[in-house]
Amino acid sequence: MNALAATSRNFKQAARLLGLDSKLEKSLLIPFREIKVECTIPKDDGSLVSYVGFRVQHDNARGPMKGGIRYHPEVDPDEVNALAQLMTWKTAVANIPYGGAKGGIGCAPGELSISELERLTRVFTQKIHDLIGTHTDVPAPDMGTNSQTMAWMLDEYSKFHGYSPAVVTGKPVDLGGSQGRDAATGRGVLFATEALLREHRKSISGQRFVIQGFGNVGSWAAQLIYENGGKVVAVSDISGAIKNSKGIDVPSLLKHTIEKRGLKALMGQIQLMQIQYWWKTVMFSSLRHLAVENANGIRAKFIIEAANHPTDPEADEILSKKGVVILPDILANSGGVTVSYFEWVQNIQGFMWEEEKVNNELKTYMTNGFKDVKEMCQTHNCDLRMGAFTLGVNRVARATVLRGWEA
């Protein structure tokens, strides 16, 4: 099942639990706008190359649409649609005044030079600048993009509309980015995991963790778990994985991966292995897919979906039958967009916050999000994924009806 079919299936199940009427259900599912643009740029060698860019704006009942821009070879309309829809439910779960959107360009960022990436980002921004804006649609980084990408988008957008720092979030701090945004998704994952473990009378410090994906989200999550006394026993990225059942020294690992650009460079120093699942752990998934063929081997008690839609629905079913507790993406990784919201508020106010305030507010939002999801689980007698979906869908449905949009 592709990402859009899986996301829509979860939405429909939530709509049924909430008893939504069929017209409202249909209007909530259909995206507001789907944008597709050709981005042609000169390569450094003078040849011309064209990439397809997308922005799907799913829903704006609760506020401006919000969501990241992904650069990845597998970006396609279905995936971007699914991710945009997930953003609508995620911002509602986080209870921040936004709708949902997502964008991306089908390209391999690692194969482009910095100047090619800059040209691509600027052309993409030129093509969509009339359709985004501080109060309409506010992009941010996602897989394959970062604060530099947002700085180029801000600069290009400002050529058309005047200096507009709040048009994108996840910017460098020197350009109005928020303290703490870089770490925010990983930190939010930590706070949500603490809330979940507390419920099971456990804490970070007593647990062993496996981290899949070691980019922005995975590496910050690993670092924060380490700082809070958790034992990180395995880490993987696209190039391979390392394990150490006594616990990995995360700060040293981070230093190596930053210097050598990935885990593979560690071959020979630390044992490189295929991704393994046999530990009794808390598993953080911050890569793309937890496929059905892996689900049978997993012995983790908890899976924290730090990535968006990392678990195939068939794998989800197998894991649920095994009693694995899954903290779903739209709650677990909502710390990123929450601090993006703080950044947008700071830009509009023209007043910047200290990092401590950002982190404290983030903790409050993540803890409240977990509590609200648990209440929905009790009301509808459902698992955490359906608890999060019913919470998000219900909040968007209420705003839609109040605005008189349901018909």
Ligand X SMILES: O=C(O)CCC(=O)C(=O)O
The secondary element (H helix, E strand) that includes residue 302 is: strand 302-305
Rounded Cα distance between 368 and 228, Å, is: 21
Using CB under 6 A as the binding rule, the residues of this chain from 180 to 199 that contact ligand NAI are 185
Shortest CB 152 distance to ligand NAI, Å: 17
- Rule CB under 6 A: which of 45-84 touch ligand X? 66-68
**Cβ-based nearer residue to ligand X, 226 or 370:** 370
Q: How far, in Å, CA of 248 to CA of 250, rounded?
A: 6
> In Å, how far are 90, 98, 149, 206, 265 from 135, measured between CA atoms?
18, 10, 20, 44, 44
| Closer CB to ligand X, 281 or 333, in the complex | 333
Residue 356: helix, strand or coil by DSSP? helix
Please give the Cα distance from 86 to 96 (Å, whole number): 14
Minimal distance, residue 353 CB to ligand X, in Å: 16
User: CB under 5 to 8 A by kind: which of ligand X, ligand NAI, none does 67 bind?
Assistant: ligand X
Q: 111-150 mask for ligand X (x: CB under 6 A)?
A: -----------------------------x-x--------
Choosing among ligand NAI, ligand X, none, which partner's interface includes residue 256 (Cβ < 5 to 8 Å by kind)?
none
Q: Which of 79, 142, 316, 372 binds ligand NAI (CB under 6 A)?
A: 142
From CA 5, how far away is CA 357, in angstroms rounded?
Answer: 39
In this structure, the number of other CB atoms found within 10 A of the CB of residue 262 comes to: 16
- By CB under 6 A, tell whether 285 contacts ligand NAI: no
Would you say 144 and 72 are in contact if contact means Cβ atoms under 8 Å apart? yes
Place of tokens 């909430």: 18
Provide, rounded to whole angstroms, the least separation between the CB of residue 142 and ligand X.
5
Q: What's the CA gap between 62 and 44, in Å, rounded?
A: 43
Site for ligand NAI in 289-308 (CB under 6 A): 306-308
Should residue 71 be labelled a site residue for ligand NAI when binding is judged by CB under 6 A?
A: no
Among ligand X, ligand NAI, none, residue 66 binds (CB under 5-8 Å by kind): ligand X
- Which of 99, 106, 144, 170 is the binder for ligand X (CB under 6 A)? 170
> Binding residue per annotation — 90?
yes
Which option in ligand X, ligand NAI, none does residue 216 bind, with CB closer than 5 to 8 A by kind? ligand NAI
Distance, in Å, from the CA atom of 232 to the CA atom of 241, rounded to the nearest integer, reads 12
Q: Which is nearer to ligand NAI, 5 or 238 (CB)?
A: 238
| Catalytic machinery residues | 102
66 among the known binding-site residues?
yes
Token pair for 334: 């909502």
309 class by beta-carbon count within 10 Å (0-12 exposed, 13-18 middle, 19+ buried): buried
> Residue 85's closest CA among 189, 188, 14?
14
179 counts as binding ligand NAI under rule CB under 6 A: no
Could you tell which of ligand X, ligand NAI, none binds residue 7, using a CB distance below 5 to 8 A set by kind?
none
Residue among 3, 142, 120 nearest 68 (CA): 142
Q: Which of 143, 163, 155 is nearest to 118 (CA)?
A: 155
Instruction: Return the one option of ligand NAI, ligand X, none that residue 182 interacts with (CB less than 5 to 8 A, by type).
Output: none
DSSP-assigned beta bridge partners for residue 38: 52
Residue (243 or 309) nearer to ligand X, CB = 309
67: left (phi over 0), alpha (psi -120 to 50) or beta: left
Q: Name the minimum Å distance from CB 396 to ligand NAI.
A: 19
Looking at 33-41, 113-121, 248-256, 282-290, which segment touches ligand NAI (CB under 6 A)?
A: 282-290
Nearer to ligand X, 82 or 123 (CB): 82
Interface of this chain with ligand X, residues 183 to 222, rule: CB under 6 A = none
The reply to whether 337 sits near ligand X by the rule CB under 6 A is: yes
Count of CB atoms within 10 A of residue 47's CB?
7
Q: How far is the CB of 67 from ligand X (least distance, A)?
A: 5
Query: Which residues on adjacent β-strands are paired with residue 209?
Result: 232, 282
Backbone angles phi and psi of 366, in degrees to 5: -65, -40
Does 340 belong to an annotated binding site?
Answer: yes
Q: Which residues are annotated as part of the binding site for NAD(+)?
A: 185, 216
Residue ranges in contact with ligand NAI by CB under 6 A? 141-144, 185, 212-218, 236-238, 286-288, 306-308, 333, 336
